[in-house]
Structure 1
Amino acid sequence: MTSGKPIDGISRWLTDFTRSVVPRNCHSHKDYWRPYPLFSALAAGCVGVEADIWLSDNGLDLLVGHDRSSLSSERTLQTMYLDPLLTILEHQNPQGPITPVEQARGVFDTQPDAALVLLVDVKTNPTDTWPLLIKQLEPLRKRQFLTRFEYIETPPGFVTKKGIWPGPITVVGTGLLDRATFFNQKHRNHTDYETYHDTFIDAPLSTLAQDNGFARVPSSQPGAVDQIASNSSQLWSADDAYYASASFKTTIGSVRTGFTQEQRNKVKTQVQAASQSGLKSRYWDIPDWPIGYRDYIWRVLTEEHVDMLNVDDLESAARRGWTQGYLRDVLWMTLVSIYLLSCGITVLVFLTRRSQRQNACARDLLDSHSDSNLRA
């Protein structure tokens, strides 16, 4: 391996894997930790990868890693992701430049119109970090390999149309990236954000309904999820954002004994808000153990039409047909909890009784000593 990628990764992908891989709505969480960053996710069919980026000390490059101690000048966003993706896409599109309204072929031969989402988690000051990312995307931008918002004159009649024009790669910013930095045009080639941009931002799923001014319409059915009424005033739109994400643990909470109706309704409401906003719903911080518990959460989220599964175990995510063994795991956890509780109670009772016996013995000894003194 060199520079964070397998030496023959690109050639193997182009010759061996691409013909049989089926894209799946899974997101490779902390992708850079894998033995083969990017390529492991592609081989599993995941249509999303994640890279944590840090501005180098000299401000000239973007390093990839979980924390500062793991950073290396050899592991950069360009060497691990941007350059390999450019090579793959150039191979997939040998015809050269395409017209503005055409969509380049993507990384998956089995579904060439499927976009790969590159989620960039900004870990350093976005004012300095994000402009460099915009600059490093230029080779992909020139080849029209990026999903973009643009005004385009389309035939016949060359009518100007504005909107999202899909590309093989969709770049989404998250982490420390804020709205002010994202919308700042000083670092962009195009002076007017409203006419062109090819990066998108991660919206907050937990507050999306409120941010976008959706009104809650109480359901007439007891226990059913409230409906959401659209509002024309939206803080987050599909022209600017792509994902709507939230921490599962913080937003939904523990579901070790199963999703409550309230928790399930919350998922439904949040997914509905994302869908009506034109965004893809995604939960991160999903428990990954026990495996049956994780699979149960995955299954419920899929049933509730969450758009993207945030996963660490690529093989299990790609396999689908997840185990129904969650109840077994719940029973196991319940029995263990009961056993530990009973052990704790037993120990507490034992210590209490021993303390009582010791106190009784001490009193008897004291009484005996007092009687001896009286007789003396």
Structure 2
Amino acid sequence: MLRLKGCLIILIGYVVSVCALFSSRGRNPSLADWEKLKDQKLSNIGNFGLTGHYLLSFFQENLDLLSFPEKNYHHTHVSLYYDVFKEYILHNINSKKCLPVNSAISRLNKDVNPIPVHSHNDYWRKLPLFEGLAYGARSTEADVWNIDGKILAVGHNEAYLDPVELTLDKLYTGPLLSILDEVNCLDSDSEHKNGVFFNSPETSLFFYIDFKSDDNELTYKLLMQEYLKPLIDSGYLTYYDMNKDEIVWKPVTVVLTGNYPTSLHVLDNENDDGYFKSEQRFAFLDAPLLDLDPKYSKLSVTTTVSFDHLMKHCDSDLWKVLLRGHMDSNEINCAKSLIEDSHALKLETRIWGAPTWPANTVKAISHQIVHDLGSDLLNLDNLFMASSLI
């Protein structure tokens, strides 16, 4: 807190001095003045050395000093807070200077270790993509809707979509491409690619794409050709090598969930050698944990089940666990054996829909899911709580 207060004092002094400068000139600041001030402010924030949740707290507490008149902003995708934060993170990202140590990823999560947490319904957060990365969450999720066969809009409910600003490329694939380009600029032709975690560049980000539209084949076609192709061309997507019969890990691993197509005929675009005829498959299916089959070792990297379905399979249910406040030994042993089966197929596991209240129960069950069951990705909306439970 003292560190944040010190930063606040510095910012107040800085803003006061700039305002005094404008006053001494006897005129109101122009758009050019605001742009110059904005660049100076955003550049100076980096000098404080704040990353991770400390950076998030700093922005939340000092947004009134960091923001500018909305009329001077040219984009409002999510909120003014999102715009200002994104502008800081991506500040000078298109600079000709190649210096990964001062990259957007450095500003986001330097000194933050990746944690086995899934940012559930990530697009609902105040800072889609960036908040999860700031906490080091190894997994994120976007629900997509096919709009007129041309656009993939991101959102939970079809009635509240914005096919202009809240799209998959503006919220996710575009920023991912930019920040990955920045940390791979020293050797862009290399097969080795640095990822989105400063302290662990070899760790891949699971990117769950939840299909919501009925026409899943057209949604998949749009996803591959319009949204993932730039990431594929740059060598940033994990793929299944058909020739070597192995998975080649890259900075981002796409997992299809929801109403996704399961036919290889569709997934490979009617080609025996992959969607782009490269002997590679770039999208993995989210395997059903309660209906596993050896085929998923080649089609999938993750497996998922709802907490309630898992408990019912173990002759219990969500409400029994909720009233008790924790899982008993029979439930743990049953669920753990299923997770061990998925691990035998080299699949990481995620359990969603666990109790979300009261707080003590959430903490107790989340701890059991990770430490007693051995599940790989903790599915929890509260990232700060999740980071403290790992």
**TM-score, structure 1 length as denominator?**
0.71
Structure 1 residue 187: Cα displacement = 6.9
Structure 1 residue 6: Cα displacement = 3.1
The answer to whether the Cα contact below 8 Å between 2:261 and 2:267 also exists between their aligned partners in 1 is: no
Question: Quick check: 1:311 aligned with 2:380?
Answer: yes
Match of 1:122 among 205, 208, 211: 211
Greater C-alpha radius of gyration: 1
Gaps of 5+ in 1: 153-160, 213-233, 322-376
1:322-337 matches, cutoff 5 A: none
User: Quick one: distance in 2 between partners of 1:46 and 1:14?
Assistant: 13
| One-letter amino acid of the structure 1 residue matched with residue 208 of structure 2 | L
1:1-376 matches, cutoff 5 A: 2-4=76-78, 5-9=82-86, 10-11=89-90, 13-56=104-147, 58-73=148-163, 74-99=165-190, 102-124=191-213, 125-135=215-225, 136-150=227-241, 161-180=244-263, 183-186=266-269, 190=274, 195-208=279-292, 212=293, 234-237=294-297, 239-252=298-311, 253-254=317-318, 255-256=321-322, 257=324, 258-303=326-371, 304-320=373-389
User: Quick one: distance in 2 between partners of 1:290 and 1:35?
Assistant: 23
Structure with a larger share of its residues in strand: 1
Q: Is the partner of 1:179 in helix, strand or coil?
A: coil
Structure 1 residue 89: Cα displacement = 0.3
**TM-score, structure 2 length as denominator?**
0.69
User: Quick one: distance in 2 between partners of 1:316 and 1:182?
Assistant: 42
The answer to whether the Cα contact below 8 Å between 2:289 and 2:305 also exists between their aligned partners in 1 is: yes
Q: Is the partner of 1:174 in helix, strand or coil?
A: strand
Q: Is the partner of 1:95 in helix, strand or coil?
A: helix
Structure 1 residue 97: Cα displacement = 3.2
Q: Is the partner of 2:192 in helix, strand or coil?
A: coil
Decide whether aligned partners of structure 1 residues 60 and 43 sit closer, same or farther in structure 2, where only a CA change above 3 A counts.
same
Structure with a larger share of its residues in helix: 2
Q: Is the partner of 1:84 in helix, strand or coil?
A: helix
User: Quick one: distance in 2 between partners of 1:312 and 1:60?
Assistant: 31
Structure 1 residue 178: Cα displacement = 3.3
Per-residue Cα deviation, 1:285-314 (whole angstroms, up to 9, x for no partner): 111110110111111111121011111001
Structure 1 residue 131: Cα displacement = 0.9
Structure 1 residue 165: Cα displacement = 1.0
Per-residue Cα deviation, 1:220-248 (whole angstroms, up to 9, x for no partner): xxxxxxxxxxxxxx2321x2101110000
The answer to whether the Cα contact below 8 Å between 1:22 and 1:108 also exists between their aligned partners in 2 is: yes
Gaps of 5+ in 2: 1-74, 92-103, 312-316
The answer to whether the Cα contact below 8 Å between 1:131 and 1:187 also exists between their aligned partners in 2 is: no
**How many matched pairs?**
285
Structure 1 residue 21: Cα displacement = 1.8
The answer to whether the Cα contact below 8 Å between 1:174 and 1:202 also exists between their aligned partners in 2 is: yes
